[in-house]
């Protein structure tokens, strides 16, 4: 790395930020010139790939068609998303092993065959397991999950992608990314009391909003950054996904060294110590950050107070001292029904020990939990260690239920017990995402996000209007008591321990291993290549839906009950856009079928057009496809005959996923043209025969009354991506390259 950093510095002609050092040392070919941020597409060679079970199925179904025997870089699969939380860890894991057997067997055997490390169900959530085992300072990885940037807590450029991108890297091909812009966040001071690392990102989300990080790496620096534990840094980087950031990162420091050592990687820490200056920004970046970053934010940790974000969006940030007033003003239900801590975002030893200290203090003061309370450990390593150290018992004393080491309620894998599903109700989590219906599938649930400490305090209080910094609670003797500030340990004083971490190494030679997919399976389906572009402009596309307002990947391809079909494209396509709001009637999953004039479900309507040999088009609003990396949100429309997605703006991962699958992802040149689209439109896309980078296309809206609107639409396709479109998808191109 040092040599590469030095030549990059010469090329760029000035001191470098940390991200620039890492990006330039991971180019797939040596650079001839410096790259323009936010403009140039660059080919990278990441060091590793991680995939979680819900996205790995589609990634590996694609990989197995590309003709290689083995993955080109170290890769792992993690079984975490498919475990449903119902009664508690032991029973829920047993049920998952049974109901998901076919999928787990598929993932285990395909991993074994192609040289991929396999983490069994119960081993933990992908991002925690990666942080504990694989992340390293100065490295670059991609992962098929949007919270992959969690590894930025150990100084790694770690980027969430769709499965097709993972296929590129596993196939040994360069991986392309637009050179990210850089946002610097200068942290001064030191946190104390009730404030924790989560509050940094809750604050940043409030500043930058769900779109503000799009196309950018967020680099945290300053003495405040060096005061935060490595896992706390991980939390901040993890939730950077919620502002659309490409990834977030911290510079290598003593906290990272300590974490590496405590997780059995002293050697990595020593190697990093040897090149420390290359794993931190150059000196002038600290002194004159505005010269190096496209945008700089500054936050004084001395004065940062805890935040509560939500409901329904992670960027609606309210300081805990203002919650009571906000609850009253907005009519949010103040009674807290369920408090959930843990997840990939916040389940470190530090988080758990600090939350446990609150519970212990509460019990000693005659208090108990006043809401349901669940704890999701991020990995078996953490779970085993916190059990040994008595924290699990403390949670159980106040009625806490420990769930399996898995995503569970974070991704709607939650059999919630609620008397009336239509009743407005409130939950609070220490997770990262809180879009409508995400956790329990209920539109009536107001989900808030906060630090594990604040979630725990609110569980004791039973209301989200509680401010533990100032408010008192009444105990079992009728006395008014105040909770003490949390205290905990960054790392376990007695060290980490685990009996079976849940890892299965792949066979050295996988040639003889068969990967079985039953032809009548409901959960797995081998992929057929998509058809190539027919060579003409697209004419007469029917408007399938004009989506109104927020349309996240949860609206496009819901998780929860649908996760079970992630390996079966045709079956999962039955959830396509069922959560999106139809602009014309404000309803979900009710759109006009232009062939019959009747209203029906979105997937059924798309299938009707497809059966009639007619293409369709989806129109959307701002930041379309924000949230998850799931490429199903792009593959489903592709499969159901949608040819183009035309929106006001896209979220990064989703836009790339569309391109990879051979779809047209277009944006209105004039955003107000969204209003010109009418319900009965037949739409033409003109200019495809001379489809060129940087040249807008034309869309003709043929209205029912015979009138027309011709509008200009932009695209961000480069030469390579235009090839994908023409070939019918990137995989068709890769297949022909690997075959050569
Ligand atoms: C999420 O948090 O939304 C998920 C579930 O982890 C997704 C991946 C998926 O949809 O499988 C993500 O963040 O990318
Ligand atoms: Fe799992 Fe939730 Fe983390 Fe996504 S955000 S990986 S669903 S725990």
As a whole number of angstroms, the distance between CA 503 and CA 385 comes to 17
Check if 433 has its Cβ closer than 6 Å to any atom of ligand 1. Answer: yes
Backbone angles phi, psi at 534, to 5 degrees: -80, -5
Ligand 2 centroid from CA 107, angstroms:
19
Contact assessment for residue 235 and residue 262, using Cβ atoms and an 8 Å cutoff: no
| Secondary structure (3-state) at 544 | strand
User: Active-site positions?
Assistant: 80-81, 145, 433, 628, 630
Strands (E), 32-139: 41-44, 48-52, 75-78, 117-119
Q: Give me the average pLDDT of each 10-residue run along the chain (740 residues).
A: 92 97 96 93 97 97 92 98 94 96 96 98 98 98 98 98 96 95 98 98 98 97 97 98 98 98 98 98 97 98 98 98 98 98 97 98 97 97 98 96 95 92 97 95 97 98 98 97 98 97 96 90 95 98 98 96 96 98 98 98 98 98 96 98 98 96 98 98 98 98 98 97 97 84
476 C-alpha to center of ligand 1: Å? 42
| DSSP one-letter code for 245 | B
How remote is the CA of residue 433 from the centroid of ligand 2, in Å? 9
- Atom number, ligand 2, closest to the C-alpha of residue 126: 6
Query: How much is the pLDDT for 11?
Result: 95
Question: What residues does ligand 2 touch, defined as CB less than 6 Å away?
Answer: 81, 125-126, 145, 147, 343-344, 407, 410-411, 431-432
Element (H, E) at 683: strand 682-686
What confidence score (pLDDT) does residue 236 get? Answer: 98
Q: Is the CB of 628 under 6 A from ligand 1?
A: yes
| Contact criterion met (CB below 8 Å) for 249 and 215 | no
pLDDT at 21: 98
Order of strands across the sheet that contains 216-221: 247-250, 216-221, 181-188, 295-300
| Partners of residue 644 on adjacent β-strands | 617, 664
Q: Is 58 in the pocket of ligand 1 (CB under 6 A)?
A: no
Ligand number nearest CA of 130 is 2
Rounded to the nearest angstrom, the distance between the alpha carbon of 274 and the centre of ligand 2 is 34
Q: DSSP letters along 278-337, please?
A: GGS--HHHHH-GGGT-SEEEEEETTT---EEE-SSSTT-EEEGGGHHHHHHHHT---BEE
| C-alpha to C-alpha distance for 298 and 290, rounded to whole angstroms | 11
Rounded to the nearest angstrom, the distance between the alpha carbon of 688 and the centre of ligand 2 is 39
**pLDDT score recorded for residue 480:** 98
Q: Which of the ligands is closest to the CA of residue 54? A: 1
d(CA 322, CA 309): 12
Strands 336-342 and 307-309: unpaired
Rounded to an integer, what distance in angstroms lies between the CA atom of residue 174 and that of residue 164? 12
Distances, alpha carbon 314 to alpha carbons 116, 218, 219, 291, in Å? 34, 17, 20, 30
Residue with CA nearest ligand 1 atom 4: 628
Helical H runs in 574-650?
Answer: 602-611, 632-639
């Amino acid at each position: 790395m040092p040599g590469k950093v030095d030549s990059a510095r010469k090329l760029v002609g000035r001191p470098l930020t940390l991200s620039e050092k890492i990006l330039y040392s991971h180019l797939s070919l040596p650079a001839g010139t410096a790259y323009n941020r936010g403009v140039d597409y660059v080919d990278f060679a990441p060091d590793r790939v991680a995939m979680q079970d819900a996205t790995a199925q589609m990634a590996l179904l694609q990989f197995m068609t590309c003709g290689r025997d083995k993955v080109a870089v170290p890769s792992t699969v993690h079984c975490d998303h498919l475990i449903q939380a119902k009664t508690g860890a032991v029973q829920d894991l047993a049920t998952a092993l049974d109901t998901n057997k076919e999928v787990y067997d598929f993932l285990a055997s395909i991993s074994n065959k192609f040289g991929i490390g396999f983490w069994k169900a119960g081993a933990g959530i992908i991002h925690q397991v990666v942080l504990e085992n694989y992340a390293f300072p100065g490295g670059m990885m991609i992962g098929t999950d949007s919270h992959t940037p969690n590894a930025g807590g150990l100084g790694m450029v770690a980027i969430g992608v769709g499965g097709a991108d993972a296929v590129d890297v596993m196939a040994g091909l360069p991986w392309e990314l637009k050179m990210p812009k850089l946002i610097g966040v200068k942290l001064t001071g030191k946190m104390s009391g009730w404030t924790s690392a989560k509050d940094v990102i809750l604050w940043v989300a409030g500043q930058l909003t769900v779109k503000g990080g799009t196309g950018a790496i967020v680099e945290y620096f300053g003495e405040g950054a060096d005061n935060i534990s490595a896992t706390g840094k991980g939390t901040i980087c993890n939730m950077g996904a919620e502002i659309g950031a490409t990834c977030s990162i911290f510079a290598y420091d003593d906290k990272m060294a300590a974490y590496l050592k405590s997780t059995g990687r002293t050697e990595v820490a020593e190697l990093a110590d040897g090149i420390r200056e290359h794993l931190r920004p150059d000196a002038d970046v600290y002194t004159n950050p505005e010269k190096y970053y496209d945008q700089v934010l500054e936050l004084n940790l001395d004065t940062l107070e805890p935040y509560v974000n939500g409901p329904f969006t992670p960027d609606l940030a309210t300081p805990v001292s203002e919650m009571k007033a906000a609850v009253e003003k907005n009519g949010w239900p103040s009674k807290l029904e369920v408090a959930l801590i843990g997840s990939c975002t916040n389940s470190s030893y530090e988080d758990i020990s600090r939350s446990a200290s609150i519970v212990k203090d509460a019990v000693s003061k005659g208090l108990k939990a006043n809401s349901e309370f669940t704890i999701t450990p991020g990995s078996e390593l953490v779970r085993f260690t916190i059990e040994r150290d008595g924290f699990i018992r403390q949670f159980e004393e106040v009625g806490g239920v420990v769930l399996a080491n898995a995503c569970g309620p974070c991704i709607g894998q939650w059999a919630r017990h609620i008397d009336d599903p239509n009743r407005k109700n409130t939950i609070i989590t220490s997770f990262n995402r809180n879009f409508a219906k995400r956790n329990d599938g209920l539109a009536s649930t107001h989900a808030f996000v906060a630090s594990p400490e604040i979630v725990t305090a609110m569980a004791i209080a039973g209301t989200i209007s509680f401010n533990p910094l100032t408010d008192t609670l009444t105990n079992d003797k009728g006395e008014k008591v105040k909770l003490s500030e949390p205290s905990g340990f960054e790392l376990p004083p007695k060290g980490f321990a685990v009996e079976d971490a849940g890892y299965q190494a792949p066979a050295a030679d996988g040639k003889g291993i068969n990967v079985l997919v039953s032809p009548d399976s409901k959960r797995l389906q081998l992929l057929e290549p998509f058809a190539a572009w027919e060579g003409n402009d697209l004419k007469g596309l029917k408007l399938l839906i004009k989506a109104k307002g927020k349309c996240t990947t949860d609206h496009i391809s819901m998780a929860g009950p649908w996760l079970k079909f992630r390996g079966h494209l045709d079956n999962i396509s039955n959830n396509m856009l069922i959560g999106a709001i139809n602009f014309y009637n404000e309803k979900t999953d009710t759109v006009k079928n232009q062939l019959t004039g009747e209203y029906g479900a979105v997937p059924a309507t798309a299938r009707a057009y497809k059966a009639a040999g007619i293409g369709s088009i989806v129109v959307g609003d701002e930041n379309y496809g924000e949230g998850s990396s799931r490429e199903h949100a792009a593959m489903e429309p592709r499969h159901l005959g949608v040819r183009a997605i035309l929106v006001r703006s896209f979220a990064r991962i989703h836009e790339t996923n569309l391109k990879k699958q051979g779809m047209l992802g277009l944006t209105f040149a004039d955003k107000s043209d969204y209003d010109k689209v009418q319900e009965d439109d037949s739409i033409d896309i003109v200019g495809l025969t001379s489809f060129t980078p940087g040249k807008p296309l034309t869309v003709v809206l043929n209205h029912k009354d015979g009138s027309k609107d011709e509008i200009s639409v932009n695209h961000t396709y480069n030469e390579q991506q235009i090839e994908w479109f023409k070939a019918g998808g990137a995989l068709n191109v890769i297949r022909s390259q690997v075959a050569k």
